[in-house]
Amino acid sequence: MKSEDIRANTLEELAVLEGDLRRQLWKARFDNHTNQLDDTSSIPKLRRDLARVKTILTERRVEAANKE
| Enclosing domain of residue 52 | 3-67
Rounded to whole angstroms, what are the CA distances from 65 to 6, 31, 59?
Answer: 20, 39, 10
- Determine if the pTM surpasses 0.85: yes
Spell out the per-residue pLDDT of the chain, length 68, in tens.
Answer: 888 999 999 999 999 999 999 999 999 999 999 999 999 999 999 999 999 999 999 999 999 999 87
Q: Domain total for the chain?
A: 1
What is the spatial distance between Cα 38 and Cα 26, in angstroms, rounded to a whole number? 15
Provide CB contacts within 8 A for 14, sequence distance 6+: 6, 53, 56, 57, 60
The SS3 of residue 41 is coil
Domain at 46, CATH number: 1.10.287.310
